[in-house]
Structure 1
Amino acid sequence: MLTGVLSRLSLQRLNWPQRVVKALDEMGLRRLGDCLRLPREGFARRLGVERLAELDRALGRLPEARTAWVPASRFSLSVDLHSEYLDRERLMRAIRPLFEQLQRYLVVRQSGVQLVELKLHHLRAPASPVVLRLLSPAYQAEHFHALLGGHMERIELPEPVVALTLRAGRLQPLTAVSGDLLASRQRMGGGGLSAGRLVECLRARLGRRAVYGVGLQPDYRPDRAWRRVEPVASHESGHFVQLNRPLWLLKSPTPLRQQQGWPWQEGRLRIEAGPERIESGWWDGADISRDYYLARNAYQQWLWIYRERQGARRWYLHGLFA
């Protein structure tokens, strides 16, 4: 049955060198069945023993060793608590040994993780999940424990905790990075956190939606030139046009007073640069047509203002520079 099916297979389908297929074609052999009808000794002498072995493995005459799939190593640990825990401080102390075991597991493998999942099991209510997301691979139990403390401030436990389950995400190799000597001294003296660790702590305490990164969008409209992204541990310089944009862009433009056609805010604003004309968005119904200016008020604050090019041609404040 198998031999009959494979005999109709073209030799072009085989992963054989083209010179071998061409030599067989010149001998009038174009299908697998043509090769199977040849004397085995002559076939091996002309084309090699390995080609004959390939045919035998395809027909099941020789065993074909396959590399077994080995699932990626993952850390998972479950423990039953000796008593019911509802007090957060006692619960945090009970969880610490799990993080210490995770650290030992990661140190031996010279790996880190960016995802740690903890389930707080209750007697009757569904388990309360806590997910720790990190910007870069980490292995330190102290760091995991500190992030968990931020999450625990926001969690409402429906019942006392009777068991714990800790699972880690995919293992990632740890890369050693040489730090700056002076920066290291400053951190040690001031007790500060790195930018990545600070973001992780803020997200644990305030929630993922409260702390996010900012990415560029290919759009000239200031309100749509950026998007929310997941924070990353390091930033690579992108290729973008350097424009004079304010650090603080207002959520919605604020109308300015106007006298004799000039914008006012505690007095007449002084135009320092501009206009920069932005006309875009006609294709999605949110089109704008504005002339933007760099202005300064009586308190020497630098403002980003614009004037409508259509309709009432009013002036608006859209952003403030540092």
Structure 2
Amino acid sequence: MLWTCINLSHLAMDGMLRRRPTTGPLVLVDGPVNARTIVSANESAQAAGLHVGQRLSAAQALLSKFEAIPYERESVDRWHRFLAAVAYRYSSEVSLLPHAIVLEVSRSMGLFGPWPRLDAMLRADFAGLGFRHRLAAAPTAHAAQVLATVSDGQAVLSVDALRHALQRVPLAKSSLPANAIAALPGMGIRNLGQVLALPRDGLRRRFGTELLDALDRLIGDRPSGLELYRPPDTFDLRIELLHEVENQSALIFPLRRMADDLAAYLAGRDGGVQRFLLRLEHREGCYTDVPVGLLAPQREGAMLFEFARGRLEHVVLPEPVLALHLIARELPAFVPAGRDLFDERPANALPIGQLRERLRARLGDRAVYRLGSTTDPRPERAQAVAECGGVHDEPSPRPTWLLAHPIPLRGASPRILAGPERLETGWWDGAEACRDYYVVETSPGQRAWAFCPPGEQGGWMLHGWFA
């Protein structure tokens, strides 16, 4: 087995910076009101001398102007689970650890390529989402966690090399039980290599089985005992804005980020989204819903953003917006569109599906639609606007382009390509029709749909055109 650990020691600050981008000093504080302590600080705050573990009062004495925000455990847990859902794209065995995510990737490399390529793909995904991270790989999940804490990029790909890699890991970063980390330095033990060399009977008498179990999980002599994570079946993301927004243009940046997050989540599930809701939250619990419906499941971030923005542009804000809430409960399977190997379309040409969705987002639902069949056989009544997401009908010998009313077909007699299709119906409502329809080719080479009286091949009436 091969496990990779994604260390997220800056998760709380990175999650806050996605919502509140700033270049000034910013810290997250936690603890009692009269004894607030810094638990995270951005680069500007660190450059000014502020650090983790420092009392807020001491930081205020050192620096007069900086922003202090309460640490939100619920928000950190939400980002933690979201990133685990992103990592689920690469493995079905994903687990959550404190400030880290571990996933088993030995089988994944058969799909994504060798470890260096998989490492680069994981880094690109997490960096693109704005989360700092460190990666390490090892034959056990706990060893990967320890190595990611010590350094970034270390990859131990065999069990034989694992003990050597763990030799110089300091006890403080070993993830061993706290009582052992506190007591072992008094015995002259400073690193994991020294602990692993000690007699197991002595360790059991001194620390019980907890320390031995931790060591066995570390080197792979005992199962990891981790609970596997499964992404939820719905996507729910809420972003509070920095101030009240009265103009739609100020919502574009957070909307783009939310669309990218939704796309990353869908890639992790290997699924798509066909309908989602963008909720604009106002004062006193009021809100404005902006539904976004697609004709087919999609999961590309740029497309989802463009569709949502197109809908948002048609909304008149009744009140200032305080927060954005994106909810996607219907997440159907997604099948990427195929493309011919020798496709001669320009590189920037849009597939018909994307063009259709873009037009609907910009012009409205009724501007672009798909036709479906009815139970009435008369051509002028045989088509109706199909419901969004409906099943496509089988190809029909009848043309899609019908004239409003049949007109005489002028010129030389056409060449018959197919037919006749006898139509004798409508007697029940007074609009009786009795015709023989043919697929014909006109003298200029156009492909048309025309009819004449039953049993005759003259007096042609043109009723439609084929593309």
**C-alpha distance 119-277 of structure 1, shift in aligned 2 (>3 A):** same
Matching residue within 80, 91, 95 for 2:251: 91
Tell me if 1:115 matches 2:260: no
Q: State the alpha-carbon separation in 2 of the partners of residues 172 and 144 from structure 1.
A: 15
Partner of 2:385: 228
Q: Secondary structure in 1 aligned to 2:316?
A: coil
Shift of 1:120: 1.7
Q: What is the aligned-residue identity percentage?
A: 38
TM-score, normalization: structure 1?
0.57
Structure with greater strand share of residues: 1
Partner of 2:427: 282
**C-alpha distance 231-91 of structure 1, shift in aligned 2 (>3 A):** same
Partner of 1:199: 356
Kept in 2, the 8 Å contact 1:196–1:232? The answer is: no
Q: Secondary structure in 1 aligned to 2:267?
A: helix
Greater mean deviation of Cα atoms: 271-280 or 215-224 = 271-280
Kept in 2, the 8 Å contact 1:269–1:296? The answer is: no
Kept in 2, the 8 Å contact 1:280–1:287? The answer is: yes
Kept in 1, the 8 Å contact 2:239–2:324? The answer is: yes
Partner of 2:260: 100
Q: Secondary structure in 2 aligned to 1:190?
A: coil
Kept in 2, the 8 Å contact 1:270–1:295? The answer is: no
Aligned length: 232
Q: State the alpha-carbon separation in 2 of the partners of residues 246 and 173 from structure 1.
A: 32
Q: Secondary structure in 1 aligned to 2:371?
A: strand
**C-alpha distance 294-99 of structure 1, shift in aligned 2 (>3 A):** closer
Tell me if 1:216 matches 2:373: yes
**C-alpha distance 194-234 of structure 1, shift in aligned 2 (>3 A):** farther
**C-alpha distance 89-216 of structure 1, shift in aligned 2 (>3 A):** same
Partner of 1:165: 325
Partner of 1:318: 463
What are structure 2's unaligned runs of at least 5 residues? 1-229
The superposition leaves residues 88-120 of structure 1 with CA deviations (integer Å, 9 ceiling, x where unpaired) of 332111222222332343333333322211012
Shift of 1:137: 3.3
The superposition leaves residues 144-168 of structure 1 with CA deviations (integer Å, 9 ceiling, x where unpaired) of 1111222233323333322211101
Shift of 1:194: 2.1
What is the root-mean-square deviation in Å for CA atoms of aligned residues? 3.9
Q: State the alpha-carbon separation in 2 of the partners of residues 95 and 165 from structure 1.
A: 10
Kept in 1, the 8 Å contact 2:424–2:435? The answer is: yes
Tell me if 1:147 matches 2:304: no
The superposition leaves residues 182-225 of structure 1 with CA deviations (integer Å, 9 ceiling, x where unpaired) of 33xx45x4312222222221221222222222233454311123
Q: State the alpha-carbon separation in 2 of the partners of residues 120 and 142 from structure 1.
A: 21
Matching residue within 249, 261, 280 for 2:402: 249
Shift of 1:285: 4.0
**C-alpha distance 200-113 of structure 1, shift in aligned 2 (>3 A):** same
Partner of 1:134: 294
**C-alpha distance 315-177 of structure 1, shift in aligned 2 (>3 A):** closer
Q: State the alpha-carbon separation in 2 of the partners of residues 176 and 246 from structure 1.
A: 29
Q: State the alpha-carbon separation in 1 of the partners of residues 389 and 347 from structure 2.
A: 24
Higher alpha-carbon Rg:
1
Partner of 2:81: none
Partner of 1:61: none
Kept in 2, the 8 Å contact 1:215–1:228? The answer is: yes
Q: Secondary structure in 1 aligned to 2:234?
A: coil
Shift of 1:136: 3.8
Tell me if 1:156 matches 2:316: yes
Q: State the alpha-carbon separation in 2 of the partners of residues 90 and 153 from structure 1.
A: 12
**C-alpha distance 281-194 of structure 1, shift in aligned 2 (>3 A):** same
One-letter code aligned to 1:225? A
Kept in 2, the 8 Å contact 1:213–1:232? The answer is: no
Q: Secondary structure in 1 aligned to 2:435?
A: strand
Q: State the alpha-carbon separation in 2 of the partners of residues 111 and 196 from structure 1.
A: 17
Kept in 2, the 8 Å contact 1:81–1:164? The answer is: yes
Kept in 1, the 8 Å contact 2:275–2:294? The answer is: yes
One-letter code aligned to 1:76? D
Q: State the alpha-carbon separation in 2 of the partners of residues 299 and 181 from structure 1.
A: 34
Matching residue within 58, 61, 76 for 2:236: 76
Shift of 1:249: 0.5
Q: Secondary structure in 2 aligned to 1:182?
A: coil
**C-alpha distance 78-295 of structure 1, shift in aligned 2 (>3 A):** closer
TM-score, normalization: structure 2?
0.41
